[in-house]
Amino acid sequence: MITPSLHPEPVRAACERRRKLAYGLTPRAIALLTAGFLLLIPGFYMPRLSYAMLVWAGLVLLAAWLDGLRLPSPTLLTAERSWSNAPALDSETEIELAIENHGRIIVQCILTDDLPAAMAAEPIKQRVTAFPRVSAKVRYRVTPRQRGDCETGSLYIRYRSPLGLAERWALAPLTQTVRVYPALRTSEDQQIFLARSRQIDLQLRQARQRGLGRDFESLREYREGDDLRDICWTATARRGSLITRQYQTERSQAVWIVLDCGRLMRHQRWSGSLHQLDVANPHTKLDYACSTAVALAQLALFSGDRVGLLAYGQNVQQRLLPGRGAAHLRQMIELLAQARAETSEADHLRATAVLNRLQPRRSLILWITDLAETAMRPEVIDGATQLLKRHVLLFVAMAQPEVDRIASARPKTVDEMFRAAAAQEMAGRRELLLARLREQGALTMDLDPEKLTSAVLNQYLTVKERAMV
């Protein structure tokens, strides 16, 4: 199972002047000027020393001016930004900055990379020494905090000579659109699931059922009672006797991943334990759902199934028909990165109608959603009931651990008692809705978002093992 390359393209540009007078004094020059002002203290008693201070300041400024003239023009510097891996949630991304100096002297550069807030909370500063005609490189790491497309800014450069009295300011327009993907699981993370998938595939091969399904298995002589439509006339002509085709249960099935992008999926969860929350990197329920969709797509494609995608809100946001291969997986990951949670309730019945039209044959459907807290029967339950008439449905509701904690806590005040009663009523209604779906044949799960991926992968392998589709 190989995840296709999703690296952003490297971007390269010649530097430009930041402004008309793009010069400045360095801290070293300012420190020397400050030291000259110390002569003012004895200057109250010996006025001649005040003139010495002026001479000292003039010499420092002259040296700084001559040092600035020696610095190469910004147009003689070339900058490049490249990415060593695909930006994804919950994983570090390594960025490499390269400066190529076409001038004649060594320059010491302070680089400020302007990245969007979705990737870094503050601009990243790095130092590098660029020798003439040699590319100087520096690397740093960031952890993206938001999924989707984001625009990177320019690279701001302050450079000085080894003398370090004056510096010039330049910028390199390294703007580009970078796409942050859902959390991508590597093959090492899924070794257990891959090993179990291989074992299940081996068992199905040994216990395959002939005569069922429409996958061709072998040829044999015609027997009384065989369907005439299964006769292979080309083989019959070669052998001079009736030959019929044998079929077996299909090993390759269609797996649809259906994602609810309505307002309920905007709820944010902070990664980490209760005692070590990463408050700076909140993830929405939709982020967890997209990461689970990527993991399931990888496993299903490895198992030989075809995978499709339907992400919907009020309208269908992303749609991808079932397919196979690395290119298909890449297309799915690209679409999942662009899925956005809407502010309104999703139209579940419209998504059900679209899915039934796109997939008329029996398939496995993973539907990741949440249940609205309402006294009426949620619309998503009606949509799921319609799908059960034709498909195997794995219905996953994203749980709210905060509500469960309130429901299970022992109240100490009257307000806490009412809150606990309300939470228990919400949990009871939720369990009743899922129980009714199970009675109609659905596979239901009510999970904490952080435990979603492993539970869904295990359930998918169970469905494969039992040949339920």
Distance CA 284, CA 370 (A): 12
* Domains along the sequence of the chain with CATH: 11-25+71-180 (2.60.40.10), 209-248 (no CATH), 253-465 (3.40.50.410)
- Count Cα neighbours of 379 within 13 Å in the Cβ-side half-sphere: 11
Supply the pTM of this predicted model: 0.76
280 phi/psi in degrees, rounded to 5: -75, -15
Calculate the alpha carbon distances from 419 to 329, 375, 403, 404, 431 in Å. Answer: 45, 17, 9, 11, 18
Distance CA 203, CA 16 (A): 65
Beta carbons of 367 and 385 less than 8 angstroms apart: no
In 185-237, at which residue ranges do the beta strands (DSSP E only) sit? 210-221
Amino acid at 41: I
Beta carbons of 16 and 170 less than 8 angstroms apart: yes
Calculate the alpha carbon distances from 217 to 144, 208, 222, 249, 250 in Å. Answer: 49, 10, 15, 9, 10
Contacts of 267 (CB under 8 A, 6+ apart): 284, 285, 370, 398, 400
Distance CA 361, CA 452 (A): 27
Distance CA 55, CA 102 (A): 36
Q: What pLDDT tens digit does each residue of the chain (469 aa) get? A: 445 567 888 999 999 888 777 888 888 988 888 887 776 666 666 777 677 777 888 888 899 899 888 899 999 999 999 998 889 888 889 999 999 999 889 999 999 999 988 888 888 899 999 999 888 999 999 988 888 898 998 999 999 999 989 999 999 999 999 999 998 765 545 555 555 555 555 454 444 444 444 555 678 888 877 777 778 888 888 888 888 887 654 557 899 999 999 988 888 765 443 333 344 457 889 999 999 999 899 888 888 889 999 999 999 999 999 998 889 999 999 999 999 999 888 999 999 999 999 998 889 999 999 887 766 778 888 899 999 888 999 999 887 776 767 777 777 787 777 777 777 777 778 888 888 888 888 899 888 888 888 888 888 888 887 767 6
Beta carbons of 384 and 439 less than 8 angstroms apart: no
> Nearest Cα to 358, choosing from 276, 430, 431, 254?
254
> Nearest Cα to 465, choosing from 202, 279, 153?
202
Distance CA 32, CA 53 (A): 11
> Nearest Cα to 165, choosing from 59, 27, 53?
27
Amino acid at 184: L
Beta carbons of 257 and 297 less than 8 angstroms apart: yes
Beta carbons of 322 and 307 less than 8 angstroms apart: yes
Token pair listed for 23: 């010069």
Contacts of 56 (CB under 8 A, 6+ apart): 35, 36, 39
Pairing between strand 166-172 and 77-83? Answer: unpaired
The per-residue pLDDT for 192 is 57
The per-residue pLDDT for 120 is 84
Beta carbons of 357 and 347 less than 8 angstroms apart: no
Residue 205's CB is within 10 A of a number of other CB atoms, namely: 10
